[in-house]
Structure 1
């Protein structure tokens, strides 16, 4: 932590889904490294509990699916410290149900929260960051955003989609001083499986043994932040078989570099001029 404390000191870090799990752990770890923390989620009471562990914090509760609330929160987040330096698109909900038995509304709800709302959150910040010529965007995907996992078809669709959006965005912003990081956690010991949606859209209400034995959220957050500090664009945070699966599907850095080189060579300008 010592090596990166100075790097994050006084930075404004905005985290969605910050009331528990990975989001809360990220908030506490960034705060320990001297950052100013903006905490968002729906549960204001739990957000306040996390804020109490952060020496400099701002609580902005809202539902990520509410566009008007998001716009208002974005304005306040930028104004608080004169800008948002790092943004974590972390809010999400998982799934535990077979596709054959799952209501279509479950697909709509999971994709709305895990993909569309995270894109909206980011779209509200990219103009601000690109205009300043600095910033970092981090997206919490999943090993299930690399490998199709049974009982999670909606979740996989959303998490694969989030990674695709982030990869394309990284290329577009590669000449504008804004870094983009996609994080692929495996089993982290949170309430993710307990809060997962079942076939009819109700909460599952119980956890998985593999989740309960998973990486502690604080350890996962520490790994994520260290990897961001090291400039890693694709960050796999997992153990055992999950880590092996993620590594098998890892995108080579050379490919990221190749796509960024297309942008540096005027690809966007040529495409727009042809239109």
Structure 2
């Protein structure tokens, strides 16, 4: 059986770390002795998370809007200056969508791709030289079950999450012989504020909770399962309820049946 990677003293950099999945992963890694670098746009929220972690002094809050390339480069320089290395990079920051295609402006389509695809590509390309130099480390991307299935009301979100999955596959093929692991995580419904922040067709937050998210997996459960899978070196990690896992299985066995199932499902 594969051996669990020991996180004690490892430097784990997490984007979108001020709440939800990012915060829960930070708590799980810190509980195992990792040094956490927390990144999001708001310093106060990051500090609240940092101070809630065991040994807060060994963790770091680094503010950056991940869609701003100069802020990302500055954050990277700060991390290296303060920590000297990066063992895990968890690309978690993301933005969801709740709108029909015909109601979604091109500006909204591009905004989703910018956060969920291009910004993650840029951050990873920025950090990659450190991993190559170390000849070690793991780069993880939080995709989504939506990125494997494609459902109503989430077209550009599904597309961006599918795109980052394929980009990660190519990255893995290029760097696997250099000691670098690449993992993609596909969450199903997890109980976070993701649906409050999800954009409507006009690019405004929908500001309400989805029923499926409300009944989703607790962020702590999600984080435990995810971190353990990463420690085991798993590359394709589906974390969710039975319904989502069945959907993923059907997508691999019979896309035709999957499309039929999706058409009948109420997903909003």
TM above 0.5, yes or no, is: yes
TM-score w.r.t. the length of structure 2 is: 0.90
* Correspondence for 1:167: 169
Match of 2:244 among 238, 242, 245: 242
How far does residue 231 in structure 1 lie from its aligned partner after superposition? 1.5
Structure 2: where are the runs of 5+ without partners?
254-268
How far does residue 51 in structure 1 lie from its aligned partner after superposition? 0.2
- 2-structure distance, mates of 1:125, 1:87: 8
SS in 1 for 2:141: strand
Match of 2:226 among 224, 227, 233: 224
Superposition pairs of residues 16-27 of structure 1, within 5 angstroms:
16-27=15-26
SS in 2 for 1:40: strand
**Counterparts in 2 of 1:229 and 1:250: CA distance versus 1, 3 Å:** farther
Superposition pairs of residues 1-275 of structure 1, within 5 angstroms:
4=4, 7-54=6-53, 55=55, 56-249=58-251
TM-score w.r.t. the length of structure 1 is: 0.88
Structure 1: where are the runs of 5+ without partners?
252-275
Alpha-carbon displacement from aligned partner over 1:131-185 (angstroms, at most 9, x marks no partner): 1100100000000110011100010110000101100000000111000000000
How far does residue 250 in structure 1 lie from its aligned partner after superposition? 5.8
Alpha-carbon displacement from aligned partner over 1:59-97 (angstroms, at most 9, x marks no partner): 001100111110010011122221001000000010000
Q: Confirm or deny: 8 A CA contact 1:186 1:242 kept in the other structure.
A: yes
- 1-structure distance, mates of 2:98, 2:135: 41
Number of corresponding residues: 248
Q: Confirm or deny: 8 A CA contact 1:193 1:211 kept in the other structure.
A: yes
